[in-house]
Amino acid sequence: MDYEKLVKVMRHLALEGGDRIMEIYNSDEFDVKVKSDDSPVTEADEAADALISAGLRDAFPDVALVTEEQSGSHSQSVDTFLIVDPLDGTKEFINRRGDFTVNIAYVENGVPVRGVVYAPAKGRMFFTQADGTSVEEDGPFDKETVGTVRQIKVSQPDNSELMIVASKSHRDQATDDYIGKYGVKDMTSAGSSLKFCLVATGEADLYPRLGRTMEWDTAAGQAVLHGAGGHVVRFDDHAPLKYGKDGFANPFFIAHAPGVDLKEA
pLDDT mean over 98-106: 95
One-letter amino acid of 231:
H
Which residue ranges make up the annotated binding site for substrate? Answer: 68, 87-90, 217
Radius of gyration, alpha carbons of the chain: 17
What is the C-alpha separation between 228 and 150, in angstroms, rounded?
11
What is the C-alpha separation between 7 and 177, in angstroms, rounded?
39
pLDDT at residue 221 in the model = 98
Give the number of domains in the chain: 2
One-letter amino acid of 197:
C
Query: Chain centroid to CA 149: how far?
Result: 19
Q: Reply yes or no on whether the pLDDT at 169 is more than 70.
A: no
16-27: per-residue pLDDT in tens? 999 999 999 998
Please report which confidence band the pLDDT of residue 82 belongs to, taking 50, 70 and 90 as the band edges. Answer: very high
What is the C-alpha separation between 147 and 123, in angstroms, rounded?
13
> What distance separates the 2 farthest-apart alpha carbons in the chain?
50
Q: For residue 235, what is the domain's CATH number? A: 3.40.190.80
Angle, vertex CA 121, rays to CA 118 and CA 125, nearest 5: 25
Which residue ranges make up the annotated binding site for Mg(2+)? Answer: 68, 85, 87-88, 217
Q: Evaluate whether residue 261 is within a structural domain.
A: no
Per the structure, the complete domain to which residue 232 belongs is given by 162-256
pLDDT mean over 152-166: 97
Three-class DSSP category at 252? coil
List Cα–Cα distances, 78 to 43, 101, 112, in angstroms: 28, 25, 13
The pTM of this model reads 0.95
What angle in degrees, to the nearest 10, is found between the helix axes of 3-25 and 43-59?
160
What is the C-alpha separation between 51 and 37, in angstroms, rounded?
24
Q: Reply yes or no on whether the pLDDT at 191 is more than 90.
A: no
26 with 49, same domain: the answer is: yes
Is the omega angle on the peptide bond into residue 140 within 30 degrees of 0, that is, cis?
A: yes
pLDDT mean over 218-228: 98
Which residue ranges make up the annotated binding site? Answer: 68, 85, 87-90, 217
177 with 223, same domain: the answer is: yes
CB 243 within 8 A of CB 79: yes
Q: Evaluate whether residue 22 is within a structural domain.
A: yes
Q: Reply yes or no on whether the pLDDT at 171 is more than 90.
A: no
> What does the mean pLDDT of the chain come to?
94
Q: Evaluate whether residue 240 is within a structural domain.
A: yes
φ, ψ (nearest 5 deg) of residue 20:
-65, -40
